[in-house]
Amino acid sequence: MNGFNSFRPDSLSDNPFRPDIVFTSCYKTTGGEKEYIDVENTARIVLDHSDRNFTIEFAALEFTNPERNQYAYRLEGVSDDWILTGNRRFVPFASLAPGEYRFTVRGSNNDGVWNPEGRTLTIIVSPPWWRTPWAIAAWVIIISGLAMIFIRLRERQLLRERDLLEQKVHERTLQIEEQNTRIRQQNEELSSLNEKLSALNATRDKFFSIIAHDLRNPFNTILGLSDMAISSGNQAEAPGRMTKAMTDLRDTARHTFDLLQTLLLWARSQTGTLDFEPEPFDLAERIRENIDLVRSQADKKSISITFEEPGLLTANGDTRMIDTVLRNLLTNAIKFTPQGGSVTVTARSAGEAIEVGIADTGIGIATENLARLFQPDNRYVRKGTDKERGSGLGLMLCREFIEMHGGAIEAESTTGKGSLFRFTLPA
């Protein structure tokens, strides 16, 4: 009446699938409240000595007949034996002594095919500050009793909540993900704000120091030319000397104004408000102009400045920044060269780059101090041969501008013989 059914017995087989094991949750119980710990994306958790009671939940990813899935766990550090839990998908723990443990859980599918590798979680319990024998004994007794009570209460509670467990776990997972997302966003915002605040504070301090460093020499020149103009007032050749002094005074004032603009542009670059505008320019012309700007400083110390003309060398860069680099290196060479010394500037093509060198016959720099020249947190500062003072920030400014161009800057020196600073620019 109901038809005819047929099948081949040899076509029937057991389920061969070895299920993967995952940790679904881990929570501590404190004062009746559950505090969840992220175990989905980590293989290691650290618990405080006060986190004595916690429960680990897990599952085998096999859904053919999940009620028949079986589980076994082992807690290395306590016992190396495997403990079968049947189809129970959680293990509560209490009173773990301080130390490191390896919790491993294995699972099988509905036909008893086990995953032998399972899933392992390293548990580290931090030691308490109280570790006297009587305290340990007291806590063991108390926690053991509480653990037994908790396990029994928890087992009864899980039996009542079995039908609603899946829905609650799903809802709780969504809530945790939303909370974690909000926390991550807030942490990222706080981290970004802290970085910006630190950068702004460092930029402010460095900017004020660099202003004092780079404007000192031009203003000394202005003061010197002013004294020269005043002292030549009663001399017969006063008109000619006065005109020369006033011309130099004007040029130095103009240079000082340009330098101030450059420093302000650098401050904008540190705050991200400065546009980097590289363009082709004649490097030899820029070197000559900057040598002319510092020549009055060299003349006061009878220092000769020689530029080995390379012919036309077209570099690509922001001329305002390159002027600042050249002035700083030339000023430093003059500062640390004694009376009657010399400064030599070279420029040559090096493939796709141009290399500029500024060498002096000054007092040199000790080998152990060379590495400190370009470090902002460990500045190397000393006075020049005529007691000129500096802040040690000029070379750091040079390094930042050269690196913005994709180049590099380095220094070589021999104590008592002089120094050589080289930097590269894109051709």
Which pLDDT tens digit goes with each residue over 281-290?
A: 999 999 999 9
pLDDT band at 173 (very low <50, low <70, confident <90, very high): confident
Q: Which residue has the higher pLDDT, 213 or 119?
A: 119
Q: What is the predicted pLDDT for the residue at 133? A: 61
Reported for 155-158, long-range contacts at CB under 8 A and 24+ positions apart, including other chains, are 158/90
The pLDDT of residue 316 is 92
Query: What is the rounded distance in angstroms from the CA atom of residue 71 to the CA atom of residue 105?
Result: 7
pLDDT for res 31: 72
Burial of 62 (0-12, 13-18, 19+ CB in 10 A): buried
Looking at residue 238, what is its pLDDT? 57
CA–CA–CA angle 90, 93, 98 (5° rounding)? 145
Kindly state the average pLDDT of the residues 48-73.
89
Task: Name residues whose C-beta falls within 8 Å of residue 298's C-beta, 6 or more positions apart in sequence.
Answer: 304, 305, 334, 343
CA-CA distances (angstroms) from residue 351 to 278, 316, 347, 355, 426? 19, 14, 13, 10, 9
The confidence score (pLDDT) of residue 395 equals 80
For 115, the 3-state DSSP assignment is coil
Q: Per-residue pLDDT for 256 more than 80? A: no
Query: Is residue 113 within 8 Å of 14, Cβ to Cβ?
Result: yes
Please tell me the predicted confidence (pLDDT) of residue 376: 60
Return the domain boundaries, the chain.
9-162, 196-426
pLDDT at 60: 93
Q: In the prediction, which pLDDT does 313 show? A: 86
Domain 196-426 superfamily per CATH: Histidine kinase-like ATPase, C-terminal domain (3.30.565.10)
pLDDT class of 171 with cuts at 50, 70, 90: confident
Amino acid 353 reads A
Whole-prediction pTM: 0.44
Question: What pLDDT is recorded for position 390?
Answer: 58
What is the reported pLDDT for 128? 72
What secondary structure does DSSP assign to 14-40, as a single string?
Answer: -------EEEEEEEEEETTEEEEE--S
What is the average per-residue pLDDT within 90-118? 90
Q: Which long-range contacts (CB under 8 A, 24 or more apart) does 402-408 make?
A: 402/325, 404/269, 404/276, 404/318, 404/321, 405/278, 405/316, 405/317, 405/318, 405/321, 405/322, 407/353
327 CB-contact burial (10 Å; exposed 0-12 / middle 13-18 / buried 19+)? buried
* Between residues 237 and 334, the one the model is more confident about: 334
Helices 165-231 and 319-335: crossing angle, nearest 10°? 60
Tell me if 9-162 shares its fold with 196-426: no
Mean pLDDT of the chain: 83
**Residue 200 pLDDT greater than 80, yes or no:** no
Q: Of the ranges 214-218, 263-267, 296-300, 358-362, which is most confident?
A: 358-362
Q: 350-390: per-residue pLDDT in tens?
A: 888 999 999 999 888 888 888 777 776 566 677 777 766 55
The answer to whether residues 352 and 377 touch, using CB atoms and an 8 Å cutoff, is no
Report pLDDT for 5: 85
Top-tier CATH class for 9-162: mainly beta
What pLDDT was estimated at residue 48? 84
Q: Which residues contact 37 (CB under 8 A, 6 or more apart)?
A: 26, 27, 28, 45, 54
Res. 259 pLDDT band, cuts 50 70 90: low
